Amino acid sequence: MSNVAVVFWSGTGNTEAMADLVAQGASAKGAKVSIIQASDFGADRLDGYDAVAFGCPAMGDEELEDTEFLPMYDEVEPLLGDRKVVLFGSYDWNDGEWMELWEQRAEAAGVNVVDSLIAKDYPDDEASAECMRVGALLA
Ligand SMILES: Cc1cc2nc3c(=O)[nH]c(=O)nc-3n(C[C@H](O)[C@H](O)[C@H](O)COP(=O)(O)O)c2cc1C
């Protein structure tokens, strides 16, 4: 059985809702799933997981949240090895540039990004189905 971590930061709950749906998608395919706040995750917890979904909304100016999420991600990214990784998050007023930058960064670091997804504000039905789909990729 695949052991999946869904690690997220969310200020107003939109990315948290996505995290729950990604977790449901992985669980439905038989994975054991843990949903973990970014502030509770780090290099010391990575060993227990075969695959990781990282969720963070667009913050700053098309940036990752830099108090809790980014320090955690900076620490964990070089250690991901060949684990399957999904990147996801919510945005509002722009067009998802933060996710393009995040994917570029991860791919440059050799991360095995199997998919990514973005949702404008709270995930609607279409985005919710996408969350479930990408969660299933990690199982
Ligand atoms: C401080 C701050 C910075 C933000 N920066 C961006 C941004 O650069 N681009 C964008 O599209 N949305 C931006 N947003 C909007 C959030 O990404 C959006 O509200 C998102 O749904 C929040 O997700 P959450 O509920 O998981 O915190 C920003 C919001 C805040 C509060």
Q: Which pLDDT score is estimated for 1?
A: 78
pLDDT tens digits for range 68-88:
999 999 999 999 999 999 999
pLDDT tens digits for range 106-120:
999 999 999 999 999
Ligand 1 and 116: CB distance under 6 A: no
Tokens of 2: 């695949």
Ligand 1 and 57: CB distance under 6 A: yes
- Whose CA is closest to atom 18 on ligand 1? 91
Count of all residues that appear for the chain in the document: 139
The CATH number covering residue 7 comes to 3.40.50.360
Tell me how many domains the chain contains.
1
Give the single-character DSSP code of 21.
H
Amino acid residing at 100? E
Q: Cβ of 113: how many Cβ atoms within 10 Å?
A: 17
Ligand 1 and 58: CB distance under 6 A: yes
Tell me the residue range of the domain where 114 lies. 3-137
